[in-house]
Amino acid sequence: MNISSLFIPIIVLVVIIYGAYKKINVYDSFVNGAKEGLPMAISMFFSLLAMIFGVNIFLKSGVIDYFLSFLKPFLILINVPFEVLPVAIMRPFSGSFGLALLNDIYKVYGPDSYISVLASIIQGSSDTTLYVITLYFGTIGIKKIKHALWVGLLADLFMVIMALIIVPLFF
């Protein structure tokens, strides 16, 4: 048995001990928190469902493959591996889909290849910007997301550019 499997039980035990020390009914506090959190989870569900639905329509339609085929000559011209582009584009939409694309790159090129390292850095240093904005802003009712969206997408773009600059220096 390793320490990582004990981490969560230890945290729960510390919370229970601390609650007993402060003379707080931990169980009732937990149940009340769960009751308060349920409406929030339900409201998050619909934002998440809309986001998943939109991403799946985008992916299943083949639009991304069609769009990327136009960029291939330009990427070859500037010496950017075409294979990492789907990871860079899909990561702001879905972390899971980005990981699936990264896994496919590992299977084809191996985990230690230049393309795999570049795709890994893109996956690891970017965020699921559209997912975060849709889920969290939608849950609390923020409608004006334009500036947060642009900043998040620009940060993701900057990260891709930096990965394309830095990875060749070390690989």
The DSSP string of 91-138 is: TTT-HHHHHHHHHHHHHHH-TTSHHHHHHHHHHHH---HHHHIIIIIH
122 assigned to some structural domain: yes
Per the prediction, the chain carries an average pLDDT of 85
Instruction: Give me the pLDDT at residue 53, please.
Output: 78
The phi, psi pair for 48, rounded to 5°, reads -65, -40
Instruction: Give me the pLDDT at residue 135, please.
Output: 77
Write out the DSSP string of 47-78: HHHHHHHHHHHHHHTTHHHHHHHHHHHHHHHT
Reduced to 3 states, what is the DSSP secondary structure of residue 17?
helix
97 assigned to some structural domain: yes
33 assigned to some structural domain: no
Higher-confidence position of 130 and 114: 114
Give 40's pLDDT tier (boundaries 50, 70, 90). confident
9 assigned to some structural domain: no
Answer yes or no: are the C-beta atoms of 64 and 90 closer than 8 Å. Answer: yes
Q: How many domains does the chain have?
A: 1
74 assigned to some structural domain: yes
25 assigned to some structural domain: no
How far apart (Å, rounded) are the C-alpha atoms in residues 88 and 86? 5
Rounded CA Rg of the chain:
21
Q: Residue 138's domain spans which residues?
A: 46-170
7 assigned to some structural domain: no
- Reported as a single tens digit per residue, the pLDDT across 88-103 is 888 888 787 788 888 8
Single out the residue of 99, 85, 94 nearest to residue 107, CA to CA: 99
How far apart (Å, rounded) are the C-alpha atoms in residues 164 and 171? 11
Instruction: Please give the average per-residue pLDDT across 143-147, as a whole number.
Output: 87
23 assigned to some structural domain: no
- 155, two tokens: 């940060």
Instruction: Please give the average per-residue pLDDT across 14-42, as a whole number.
Output: 89
Give 1's pLDDT tier (boundaries 50, 70, 90). low
pTM: predicted TM-score of the whole model, two decimal places? 0.66
